[in-house]
Structure 1
């Protein structure tokens, strides 16, 4: 049965406390209206990218908090926040999938309204890259203070809080690669290969970023361990 809404008690604009707390009037006014569209799917394009910026804002906050826990020698608390950040990146990646449905001819029209704007200018990704750099430095510093290398860490037990923290960093890195893969796939599906993006850079240059790692030493440790155990398993093997 319908119920009579309770009166709003929070300060601010809006008829309900939900509207006032969430600032829905402001939030829903941030997209272009029908009278300003060059194509109706501009709304889809804006919602995907604006919602991604919100998730990246949350991710940046989580990474900052994780860094504080890491510096305070609280690896388990840092791990929780890193795994949340990885989940948020998963959602950002899923948002991209809906853009696959844009017909190339329709997106060609939408591009005319973007000017020189590009995802490379995303403040969310810029701050995210800065945060991961800080985390990489802090984690390396922590291992150094314990006289451990990443390979030493991975020779230990998976239940070790530092081991789990390292794996949370790797998972985050993997989520970045998966987002980049999806971004490249969507871009080429919608605008094709061998064309220039809005920054006049080749779309195919995106593929070079997929292999880039934010926490490279944790990936290099895997290679080191694989090579070490391969040599011990085949002691008489002649290097190629």
Structure 2
């Protein structure tokens, strides 16, 4: 008997191959059922954060692959994957905006259901921190192997592969800062200022994290070039 194009052929119990491949039954069962809600907006809160974790998982995967390319000296391939990671962070930041519609009174009802859960415990964020630290070390090793400094990288033409890689890392750093900024803005809008988070962390301590740089030498290079006399910074030829 011939198989109809509509018949599911992949392993699994779901009625369609789409559901089997995407595992939609399991995915859509990860949120609380209506009978378990302390407030209907719990569904909004869970979906925003669960989807963020999925995007962070993808971001980590891209950065791990970029790290492997850097180790092999494949600068352009690493740049592409870092750009993808930055785009994923942009999407995470944008979908956080829907939480601006969460009334403070609704979140006050939901908050006890979180226990001591906090965004600081996000496994995706922990992996992203590790990945950016590894990338920073790998980039420094790459420059060391080529006997270059970050200032010299920025003296090259804008189409130089190392210049483009450096800018991709800066873009990633900016995306992290913008994500943190949006998170702080929403937290103060929904929770308020001068209060403690679920892990008794002051909400007002978050702005200090926004200015933290994951790739500090790339920012320092800008300051060095700005402060140095123009005639002391000869242009480096592209490699």
TM-score range, shorter chain: over 0.9
**3-state SS of the aligned residue for 1:148?**
coil
* Aligned Cα root-mean-square deviation (Å): 1.2
Separation (CA, whole Å) in 2 of partners of 1:106 and 1:173: 33
**3-state SS of the aligned residue for 1:112?**
helix
Separation (CA, whole Å) in 1 of partners of 2:19 and 2:13: 8
Aligned to 1:201: 201
Separation (CA, whole Å) in 2 of partners of 1:94 and 1:224: 33
1:229 positional shift: 3.5
1:133 positional shift: 0.3
1:5 positional shift: 7.0
Is 1:116 the counterpart of 2:116? The answer is: yes
Task: Report if aligned partners of 1:83, 1:172 keep a CA contact under 8 Å in 2.
Answer: yes
1:13 positional shift: 2.5
Aligned to 1:20: 20
Task: Report if aligned partners of 1:19, 1:25 keep a CA contact under 8 Å in 2.
Answer: yes
Separation (CA, whole Å) in 1 of partners of 2:190 and 2:75: 42
Aligned to 2:41: 41
**Matched residue count:** 229
Aligned to 1:154: 154
1:27 positional shift: 0.1
What aligned pairs does 1:18-97 form with structure 2 within 5 A after superposition? 18-97=18-97
Separation (CA, whole Å) in 1 of partners of 2:49 and 2:231: 48
Separation (CA, whole Å) in 2 of partners of 1:231 and 1:216: 25
1:95 positional shift: 1.5
Task: Report if aligned partners of 1:103, 1:190 keep a CA contact under 8 Å in 2.
Answer: yes
1:12 positional shift: 1.2
**Unaligned 5+ runs, structure 2:** 233-239
Separation (CA, whole Å) in 1 of partners of 2:13 and 2:110: 33
Q: C-alpha deviations, 1:148-185, integer Å up to 9, x for none?
A: 11001001111111110000000000000000100000
Task: Report if aligned partners of 1:181, 1:210 keep a CA contact under 8 Å in 2.
Answer: yes
Aligned to 1:178: 178
Separation (CA, whole Å) in 2 of partners of 1:26 and 1:161: 43
Aligned to 1:99: 99
Q: C-alpha deviations, 1:16-71, integer Å up to 9, x for none?
A: 00000000000000000100000000000000000000000000000000000000
Separation (CA, whole Å) in 1 of partners of 2:50 and 2:91: 13
**Unaligned 5+ runs, structure 1:** 233-240
Separation (CA, whole Å) in 2 of partners of 1:218 and 1:196: 34
1:192 positional shift: 0.3
Runs of 4+ with deviation above 2 angstroms: 229-232
1:231 positional shift: 9.0
Task: Report if aligned partners of 1:13, 1:19 keep a CA contact under 8 Å in 2.
Answer: no
Larger CA deviation: 175-184 vs 222-231: 222-231
TM-score by length of 2: 0.94
